[in-house]
Structure formats: structure tokens, C-alpha cells
Amino acid sequence: MTRTIVLETRDVRPVETIEADVFVAGGGAAGLAAAVTAARQGCRVVLAERYGFCGGGAVAGLSGTVCGLYEASNGDAPPNQLVHGFVDEFIAMMHARGGLGDPVKYGKTYTVVHDPLVWREVADALLREAGITVIYHATVTEVVLDEGRVAGAQIYTKSGKVRVLAPITIDASGDADLVTMAGWPTSMGDNGHVQNPTMIFRLGGVDVERFLSAYGHDTIMPPEISVQLVEANGRGYTLPRAKIWLFPTPRPGELLCNCTRITGADGRELNSMIHRDFTEAEFEGRLQVREYACFFRDHLAGCETSWVNDTGVQVGIRQSRQALGVQTLLNADILAGKKFADGIARSPWPIELHSGSRPRVEWLLNDYYEVPFGCFVPQQGDGLLTAGRCLSAEHEAVASARVTAQCFSYGHAIGHAAALAVNEHIPVSRLAGRDIRLLLNRDGAQLD
């Protein structure tokens, strides 16, 4: 006799409803900038973030740097900052709290290393000063649709579900989560193949002065270190990546280490949009952290008494889902330094593709490209904009456009776009990138 089992799902907790002008899903660099910018234009803003702090990949993923600020060039030219706007305010606040170092060499360009604890504090201060309703420890579970138009979202919290109703919603999830929930088109890497994730960690107890004396001030380690890693791999250590990045941080005696290469047991690049892959990446990432830390302690000058101080709260995700927008940033646009009349962000950052046996870097020298507004406007529907690394872009273009300084710029622009749509009752599809560019320049973005 066959027994029929009827399953029931239940959550009897009451649903809270909050009304707002703008709802922002995600508190990374893009989500933070978008929320603060929209609030400063008089909008009632609600921001939901799954962690208990803002920062996204920069903090939870411990990427640890604000990349994408400076021009790249051959030789020893000093840092030349090309990206401005909201990011200037943020880094000034970080500097004032001792949470940001001076520019450090990164191949042909420069970057700055931050203290992730100070990042959280600065983000909190900006959100509270702007009067934003912040819901930490909250996960978006559904979008709210009104005749096919996004009209907010429903989020899960420990107290129950919260429904946020807003005429404009910003998907700053990093993974185009809300675009996907709405059933709108997305893309994924190179025919589904994405850049591999990385577990970044901090190494304490380092004699940084002796380390720099031995290996120089370029945070991309010299070729002789790569040779040592190749020779040691499989001979007492498991070290799958040989081209590595080690950054002195604002804290004394500490290095930020970007060196793991996380692939699956079957050798493929793990995809964080597949929950089994995401879990496997966390296991493998922590194992690799110990292997690299052991090698550094055994072989690198200044690291003889070092220890693992911290890892990312999660593996760092370079690439996942991308929204398909009314415009798409092309691979060819990057190295051509293409400019757009409706460009709302500029980037001098190289294509930095983490896939295969070693990272591939292609530089754009003494120039920059721009990202057009349409990359953040989904092809389908209305009421929803994107911000951050889930912009509409081809596979290799994402490998440049995804970094932190640019995400601040995207958020700054999309915050203005959201406020303009709300305050002037303009559908998202009719917003003009040229108008957003004008507003950004008034804020000091220096796009012209």
C-alpha cells in the first residue's frame, strides 16, 4: 500500500510592512553609496544587508583594498587618482579614523589597503547620518511585483518576514538576486564558467620592514617567489596558485594575503550560485589558507613567527550572475578605453582574470574607460535598477569592472538615478544617463 505524504510549509509569524521611496538590497560599496546618495536627495531609504555590517566583498570577503582609483602606467610614476565622487568622502573618513593606508604599488598601478573593522564603522556612520532605515541580518527572499513592475521586496529576519514597498528597488546583491527572482534575463560568465573564488586572509606577527626589504614594495610578489611556490607544491605543501599578492596593511606587523586558488575536487572553477560549490569553496579555502601560511612562515623573510590572524567571513566572489541590461559593457571596451556620452563611472583598472592556472592581467595604460548608465537598467520590466558587480557586462569586462572604487561610483550614480525617478516620477526605462552624469559632476565625480 502506497502512503501519500502531504507536506506543508508554515511560518505563522506576522509580516511587517514598511513603506519607503527606495529599497536597497545589499550593503556593499555600491549599496552603501546608492542608499546614502538617494537619502541625501530627500528619499526615504531602506537598506537590507545579510550580515551585521556593510562592506560586501571588501569586508565579508576581506578583499581588503580599494582597487580602481589610480591610473596605470609603465615606470615609476606617482599615484594619479582618476576616480572621484562618493569614494572621496569614504576614503577621507577612513583616513581620519586611521583605517586606510597610503597607496601601494600593484604592478603598473596603485591601490590602498583598508582596515575592515574601520570600514564597518564608517559605513554605520554614513547610514545613520543619512537617516536610512537599516535592517542587518536580513535576506531578500522574494520581490514584490505590481503588474510586472518591481514594487519592493520581502525579506527574512529573525522576527519574521518584512515586506518593504517602494517605487524604486536597487539590486546591489552582487549576484543579481532580485533580477533573477523577478524572472528577468541574466548571464553567467563565459558560457557558465566563472572566475574562481578566493579565501583571503590576514597574516599577523610579520616583520614588515624586513619583508619589504627582501621583496620590494610591489604587492604582486616577484617571479622568484612564484618559482618557489611551484617547486614546493606537492612537496610537503598544497599550493595551487603561484602568482600571489601580499599587501602591508594599516595595522602594524600585518600582511593581507590574496593567494589561494579554489577549484572543485573535479578541477573545475567553483560557482557560488550553486550551493554545493559555495560550501566546497569554504572548506577548500580554509585548508589552503593554512598551507600558504605555513609556506610563508617556513620560507619568506619576515614571516618566520607569523600566524593567521583572520580570514574572510566567506570566500571572496569575483563573478557570479550578471543582469542583462539595455546596454552591455564589452570586453573590447576595456582595452580600447572607450568613453560614453552617458558614462556614469570611469575605470583605469586592468582586466584581472582569475581563471585557469594563474591570474591573467591585461593593462590599460595612461587611460581609462567609462561604464554607460544602461548597464544598470534591466532589459525587462520597470521599478528595478542594479548596482555593483552584477552590472551588464561580458565575461572579461567583469574582470575589470567589478572592483571596489568602481562599485562606489556605480552606487553613487544609481542612488541619483533612483532619487530622480522617485522625485520626478520618471520610469526607470526613461531615465537619461546624461542627466545622471551631470548630477555626479555636481557631486565632484569629475567625469568631464
At 301-314, the pLDDT tens digits run 999 999 999 999 99
Considering only CA atoms, which of 54, 23, 106, 17 is closest in space to residue 421?
23
The one-character DSSP state at 200 is -
Say whether pLDDT at 2 is over 80. no
Say whether pLDDT at 67 is over 70. yes
Say whether pLDDT at 294 is over 70. yes
Region 245-251: mean pLDDT is 97
Region 413-419: mean pLDDT is 98
Backbone φ, ψ for residue 202 (5° rounding): -110, 135
Q: Which helix (H) or strand (E) holds 338?
A: none
89-102, pLDDT tens digit by residue? 999 999 999 999 99
Q: What is the DSSP pairing of strand 149-157 with strand 139-146?
A: antiparallel
Cβ-contact 349, 403 below 8 angstroms: yes
| pLDDT computed for residue 1 by the predictor | 62
- How would residue 42 be classed by pLDDT, with cut points 50, 70 and 90? very high
- How would residue 358 be classed by pLDDT, with cut points 50, 70 and 90? low
Region 312-337: mean pLDDT is 95
Q: Which helix (H) or strand (E) holds 399?
A: helix 395-401
Region 19-31: mean pLDDT is 98
What fold characterizes domain 16-192+319-442? Answer: FAD/NAD(P)-binding domain (3.50.50)
- Mutual angle of helices 116-129 and 29-40, in 10-degree steps: 20
Measured CA to CA, the distance from residue 80 to residue 71 in angstroms comes to 6
- How would residue 392 be classed by pLDDT, with cut points 50, 70 and 90? very high
Degrees to nearest 5, angle at CA 369 with 397 and 269: 15
| pLDDT computed for residue 355 by the predictor | 67
Q: For residue 315, what is its C-alpha cell? A: 570566500
Cβ-contact 398, 322 below 8 angstroms: yes
Domain spans of the chain, in order of start: 16-192+319-442, 201-311
